[in-house]
Structure 1
């Protein structure tokens, strides 16, 4: 049985300022983000993990380094990098929503049609595929506990691929330094928890997801 712990990076200034935080906004953590991740690190035992993977973006790598504390080799994987919002990256979210209201859902998340307006934006379908490819690879690892550091949209894509929820708009974005835990047992995915913000060792049993 493979256990996957998917962590969203800590806060950056673009998060704090309410800007669109995609692939091109490659910033380090701010002070609040470092505190969030350090708090998480103090509530986990990195020695219990077998492998650590991270998005290559600075905010994810820095989060992984704090959590890892020099114990494991940190493996960068481009499939974990945040969605590329094209020319929308780094722009104030409120201004973009006011200009293109039909590209956002009721929770103020982008809809798949956003690429009509955001030049060079990455499609949702492309993100789902690369995340699913990563999940399939992890499912072959055997009995391992794996820490994965990524981003908000990527965390939602993990949940969508694991549960086969048809509409990603029904999935909230995890908080900065929020954690999701999944199990894959004989090819069947289980969601143990989603968007926990403290203890990676929480052991409540998850429900199997079929379909």
Structure 2
């Protein structure tokens, strides 16, 4: 199986550096749409046998742009972005000031955040959700090409599931509208590229 992930285009929530998890269903902003369209011109949707997307607006719109209306888009709730609980929508700089121990050296929220955001998703539950999706894709499409349009933190965990036994802290966040590609054979995944920009 070959599986390619595309992170959705930019939203105003991204631009404002706020946490944009499963409870924040933002649309693409004008820049996000324009950039995704530019990138999509250099993307061949015909290579893919099947397309999946997060059901969130920003992902579905990005999927439609990249597939140019030529592919059926299958929505899957397992592709929802990480759920930060009550922290969804909060500004990163405010959280960093109040809870410095939950910010990693790259300025991202780390696994310790659940000490304070009690109803947030754990890394372990997130890894299980991503692993369930990846296992199903491999069972269904072992010799095919799968396209998945989703979210920055979710794609980090997908990569972490394959490469670091679910330790997402070792994987960087891709840019908006960037691509990652894995090749999976006999249950072994290899990273072909990560954070590839097409425009």
For the aligned pair, the TM-score class normalised by the smaller chain equals: over 0.9
Query: Structure 1: any 5+ residue segments left out of the alignment?
Result: 200-211
Post-superposition shift, 1:54?
0.4
* CA distances 1:122-168 after superposition (whole Å, capped 9, x unpaired): 11111110101111111121321111011011110011011125642
Residue number in structure 2 paired with 1:38: 37
Contact 1:4 1:183 in 2 (8 A): yes
Contact 2:157 2:166 in 1 (8 A): no
Residue number in structure 2 paired with 1:80: 79
Distance 1:87 1:166 in 2: 23
Q: How many pairs align?
A: 198
Counterpart of 1:146 in 2: which secondary structure? strand
Post-superposition shift, 1:113?
1.5
Residue number in structure 2 paired with 1:191: 191
Counterpart of 1:139 in 2: which secondary structure? helix
Contact 2:164 2:170 in 1 (8 A): no
Residue number in structure 2 paired with 1:152: 152
Map residues 1-211 of structure 1 onto 2, 5 A cutoff.
2-140=1-139, 141-164=141-164, 167-198=167-198
Contact 1:4 1:146 in 2 (8 A): yes
Contact 2:5 2:150 in 1 (8 A): yes
Post-superposition shift, 1:19?
0.8
Distance 1:91 1:119 in 2: 15
Residue number in structure 2 paired with 1:203: none
* CA distances 1:56-110 after superposition (whole Å, capped 9, x unpaired): 1110011011111111110001111101111111111100111011111111111
Q: CA RMSD of the aligned region, Å?
A: 1.3
Normalization by structure 2: what TM-score? 0.95
Single out whichever of 156-165 and 175-184 deviates more from structure 2. 156-165
Post-superposition shift, 1:119?
3.6
Normalization by structure 1: what TM-score? 0.90
Query: Structure 2: any 5+ residue segments left out of the alignment?
Result: none
Counterpart of 2:5 in 1: which secondary structure? strand
Query: Runs (4+) of structure 1 moved beyond 3 Å?
Result: none
